[in-house]
Amino acid sequence: MNATVAVGRLSEILDSLAAQGFDTRPLVVDSPASPGEVDAVEGQLGCKLPTSLRHCLTTVASRVEFAWFAPAEHTFPGPFREIFSGNLCWSLNGLPDLMTAVRGWVDDVFPDPSDSYDRVWHHKLPFMEVGNGDYLALDLDDDAHGRVVYLSHDDGEGHGRTMATSFEDLLIRWIPLACPGAEDWQWLPFCARSDGGLDPSSAIAREWTALVRLKSGPLAVEGL
C-alpha cells in the first residue's frame, strides 16, 4: 500500500462507519499542490518541508479532512474503551499558522532545549492540531528528519512518541485503522512494542478492524 492508495480508502472507511451509525463528517480531499505553491509556503515557514510531506502534497492532496465520532451511547470493549473518534487532517496553506502556534508554545512554555520534555517541542514542523493543545509534527532534526512525533502540552503519555518514520508512512500505518484519535490515548493501544510506531498488522489492530468492520488491505510499513 502506498499513500495514494491509503488516502483513497478514506471514503470507503467513512461509508462503512456511517452504515453502523457512526457520526461521519464530509470527506475533503483537495487536488495536489504545485511545486511552486509548496515553495511559497516554505518561504513563509523559513524551512524546507521533509521530502515525504512534500511528495504527498504534490502528488496525493494539498488538503485532507477526515473525521468520525462514535455514537454518544457507544462504548468499545477492553483495550479500545478510550476510543471515541477518528481524525486525520492536513493543509499546505495551514502550515504557517500551525508553525506560529507551536513556536508560541516553545517561546512561552517549553523554551529550554536542555530539558528533556521541552526539547521534544523544538525543531518540529506541526501539520495537524489535535484540538486539546497537542500537535502531530514532523521532526526537523538531522538525525530523525521527517519522523512523525506527538507533541503533548500536558504530560500526555504519547509525548515525544514516534508514530511513523515519515508522513507517508503515517498514512499507511494509521488509515487502515480509521485514524483513531488524534489524542494520544486513542492511538497508543496500536503502537508496537518493537519500534514504538503504529502497527496496523498487530493482533490488537486486527481485533479493532474486525470490531468496526474495516476491510483489511495489503500493508507495507517501514521499520522505525
Q: What is the 3-state secondary structure (H, E, C) of 67-80?
A: EEECCCCCCCCHHH
Question: What's the pTM value of the predicted model, to 2 decimals?
Answer: 0.94
Query: Between the CA of residue 140 and those of 63, 73, 96, 114, 158, what are the distances in Å?
Result: 21, 41, 15, 17, 19
User: What's 73's domain CATH number?
Assistant: 3.40.1580.10
Q: What is the pLDDT of residues 82-107, one digit of tens each?
A: 999 999 999 999 999 999 999 999 99
In a domain, 174, yes or no: yes
Domain of residue 156 covers: 3-211
- Percent of the chain at pLDDT > 70 equals 95
In a domain, 51, yes or no: yes
In a domain, 216, yes or no: no
DSSP code of residue 101: H
In a domain, 19, yes or no: yes
Q: What is the DSSP string of 164-194?
A: ESSHHHHHHHHGGGT-B-SSHHHHGGGB-TT
In the chain, the number of structural domains is 1
In a domain, 220, yes or no: no
In a domain, 218, yes or no: no
Task: Kindly tell me if the per-residue pLDDT of 222 is higher than 70.
Answer: no
Rounded CA-CA distance 102/79 in Å is 31
In a domain, 65, yes or no: yes
In a domain, 131, yes or no: yes
Reply yes or no: is the peptide bond before residue 182 cis, omega within 30 of 0.
Answer: yes
